[in-house]
Amino acid sequence: MLAEHFDYDVAFSRNLGWVNEAEQHLLRTKRIAIAGLGGVGGSHLLTLTRLGIGNFNIADLDIFEQENFNRQAGASLPHVGREKIDVLQELALGINPELNFHKFSSGVDANNLDAFLDGVDLYVDALDFFAVEIRRAVFAACAEKGIPAITAAPLGMGVAFLAFLPGQMSFEEYFRLAGRAEDEQLLRFLLGLSPAMLQAKYLVDDTRLDLNAHKGPSTPMACELCAGMAGTHALKLLLNRGDVPAAPRGLHFDAYRNKMVKTWRPMGNDNPIQRLGLKIVRQRLSAKMSETPENIQSTPATVIERILDYARWAPSGDNTQPWQFEIVSDKHFVIYTRDTRNWCVYDLAGRASQTSAGTLLENISIAALSEGLEASFTLRDPAVDAEPVIDVLLTALSQHTEKPPLLPYIQVRSVQRLPLSTQPLMEAHKQALEKAVGSGYRLIWIEGRQKKWQITRLLLRAASIRLTIPEVYEVHKKIIHWGVQFSSDRIPDQALGADSVTVKMMKWALKSWSRVKMLNRYFAGTVMPRIQLDLIPGLRCGAHFIIVADTPRVKTADYLDGGRAVQRFWLTATKLHLQLQPEMTPLIFSTYSREGRRFTDNADKQAAADTLRLELDALSGGEVDAVFMGRLGYGAAASSRSLRKPLQQLKTVKK
Ligand SMILES: Cc1cc2nc3c(=O)[nH]c(=O)nc-3n(C[C@H](O)[C@H](O)[C@H](O)COP(=O)(O)O)c2cc1C
């Protein structure tokens, strides 16, 4: 459509109803200043243009680049390398060709501040988060000139809104930045913007936030929410509708958390609650800065490193990661496995470690396929079952193959130990899982109320062994990482599936064996962990499963192969949005009973394993070679999980 056919009254007629005609025409006469046309400024401009505002003062000195694509209005292929201010002016003129612009193409600074705010009815802040100095200057000038000034900050998947209105608390009085170092100013700005810090709960990778490098993560949803929030308050201010919260009051809406909080911080950052919050954030940041360099991941440089970078996400009992890699050439590497039989009662014959190593091989095979390679595995000494060494050779595939469909699930697959939905598994999903284990294996499903009760009784019996023998105490002491959400070499306490009181009790008890004994004897110490870790999850799931080997496994190679089937099963479950928790202790204790292996000095508990075996055989329909057992169900993925050691730490050079 040509610009001369444009008709303001038609273009913005659908605003009518929420504003009346007189108000719409008033909006047309208003001038809004927007500093910054990046993350939120572009969306502000386009939203306010669609609201029918007729005049803008805009400032920006940047050009569009690819890293702006995730969120910035106007950031797209045709605009890369172009001035943001020109692109956004064009886009806005495409909505209202009658717009009047005063452009500040070298940004706002102390010299043009007066011109930038000349004739302005409202200032909408959209400066870069890190541009603290100029932001202070603009807000101070607005206060001096009696111009209402608002800011809507994109935080996580939400928006934090503050308004500084004429004659009320000023930006400086609220944030209290004067005389502070830059780091501290940024911290104060962040905590002042979002006293509720709703976004902090769901940041999944804090390495992406780097205040020193002036970099932080962002989302497109937050920018659009900001435009909505700022646009709404712009309308209320410009039409004098009232009810705009002014600092020290603020609003924080978080779409991810389904939460809206109205904040009130008299004295701004000098408020005792803010001072406490600042102290906590400062401590967290300094702990983050002092993280050991070996925990920092480096980008894999070669094909083998890329394959191993996937491989290391294989699951292992208690997250022990019992493997190291030696890269021999660009087509050959060696896996040195080191089982945990000398300290882990769950791994007395090294079979759990071999099953884990099998999951590693499956990851290698999938990751190699994604590089157009086939991985072949050779056990150096097939007769050895302790510390097997595996040579991996990579050969080019003759035909081009599709990207392996399970590849994207290698890193996101994780244990979920919390209760799951009791919705039965869909038939199509069961069939996909049956197919995934492949030939040589079959699945036993344990479903329905009665069967789930039976298996839960079994789990409780295994727990009564697990939680009361000193041999297991030694393992739990070693493998739980207390007070963390993520752990690269253990299991975080928050991923155990117990509530915080029970976790605290477990932490206290695990300081010494005598504490465990005392708690168990006088205070029924196993009751809460058994209810939370076994009873409730045992019943609250879609189904339990056992992966069975058609031919009983004998050699190390058989156990490795079993592990590969486990990984195909688990990755497929992840793809189907099913959560999984292994339930290996009943299986492990009953195998010990079958093999006549002594695993504890406690004769009663050794005998309990015999009963467990009979019950498990009854549930499996007779004696079977059970490779893996667990529960499955629909539900959200775990928010706390085990991570992995960095590849650098897993690489070795053997002589
Ligand atoms: C052979 C094997 C046995 C396991 N046994 C159990 C188990 O009995 N209970 C449990 O909650 N998790 C069990 N796990 C899960 C591991 O603890 C988990 O894979 C590891 O901590 C890494 O965490 P992630 O899978 O969430 O990445 C087992 C894993 C493997 C490979």
Domains in the chain with CATH codes:
3-288 (3.40.50.720), 303-407 (3.40.109.10), 416-647 (3.40.109.10)
| Number of C-beta neighbours around residue 548 at 10 A | 21
Pocket probe for ligand 1: among 316, 459, 590, 632, the residue whose CB has the most ligand atoms within 8 Å is: 316
Q: Is 615 in the pocket of ligand 1 (CB under 6 A)?
A: no
Q: Is 642 in the pocket of ligand 1 (CB under 6 A)?
A: yes
85: pLDDT strictly greater than 90: yes
Nearest in space to 421 (alpha carbons), one of 641, 639, 579, 638 = 579
Output the CA 581–ligand 1 centroid distance in Å. Answer: 7
243: pLDDT strictly greater than 70: yes
Q: Is 317 in the pocket of ligand 1 (CB under 6 A)?
A: yes
Pocket probe for ligand 1: among 359, 459, 584, 587, the residue whose CB has the most ligand atoms within 8 Å is: 584
Q: Is 316 in the pocket of ligand 1 (CB under 6 A)?
A: yes
Nearest CA, atom 2, ligand 1: 317
Integer Cα distance of 548 and 392 in angstroms: 27
Sheet of 149-155: strands edge to edge?
Answer: 100-104, 55-59, 31-35, 122-125, 149-155, 158-164, 249-254, 259-264
Integer Cα distance of 397 and 513 in angstroms: 55
Asked if residue 641 lies in contact with residue 492, where contact means CB atoms within 8 angstroms, the answer is yes
Q: Is 315 in the pocket of ligand 1 (CB under 6 A)?
A: yes
Instruction: Show the DSSP H helices in 64-167 as ranges.
Output: 84-93, 113-116, 132-145
Looking at the chain, the whole-number percentage of residues with pLDDT higher than 70 is: 98
Task: Please give the mean pLDDT across all residues of the chain.
Answer: 95
Q: Is 318 in the pocket of ligand 1 (CB under 6 A)?
A: yes
296: pLDDT strictly greater than 80: no
Asked if residue 535 lies in contact with residue 460, where contact means CB atoms within 8 angstroms, the answer is yes
Q: Is 97 in the pocket of ligand 1 (CB under 6 A)?
A: no
**Ligand 1 atom closest to 318 (CA):** 17
Dihedral angle, C-alpha 175, 181, 186, 188, nearest 10 °: -30
Residues 6+ apart with CB under 8 A from 294: 646, 648, 649
366: pLDDT strictly greater than 90: yes
Looking at the chain, the whole-number percentage of residues with pLDDT higher than 90 is: 89
- CA distance readout (Å), 539 to 213, 442, 531: 49, 23, 11
The predicted structure's pLDDT at residue 299: 86
398: pLDDT strictly greater than 90: no
206: pLDDT strictly greater than 60: yes
488 alpha carbon, distance to own chain's centre: 15
Render the burial of 449-463: b for 16+ CB within 10 Å, e for the rest.
eeebebbbebbbbbb
Give 440-478 pLDDT, tens digit per residue.
Answer: 999 999 999 999 999 999 999 999 999 999 999 999 999
The predicted structure's pLDDT at residue 638: 95
Asked if residue 480 lies in contact with residue 505, where contact means CB atoms within 8 angstroms, the answer is no
Pocket probe for ligand 1: among 204, 318, 587, the residue whose CB has the most ligand atoms within 8 Å is: 318
Which helix (H) or strand (E) element contains residue 274? helix 272-289
Nearest CA, atom 12, ligand 1: 582
Asked if residue 417 lies in contact with residue 497, where contact means CB atoms within 8 angstroms, the answer is yes
Average pLDDT over residues 84-92: 98
294: pLDDT strictly greater than 70: no
19 alpha carbon, distance to own chain's centre: 41
Integer Cα distance of 364 and 404 in angstroms: 12
Q: Provide, for the chain, the percentages of residues in helix, strand and coil under a 3-state DSSP scheme, each rounded to the nearest 5.
A: 45, 20, 35
Give 599-615 pLDDT, tens digit per residue.
Answer: 999 999 999 999 999 99
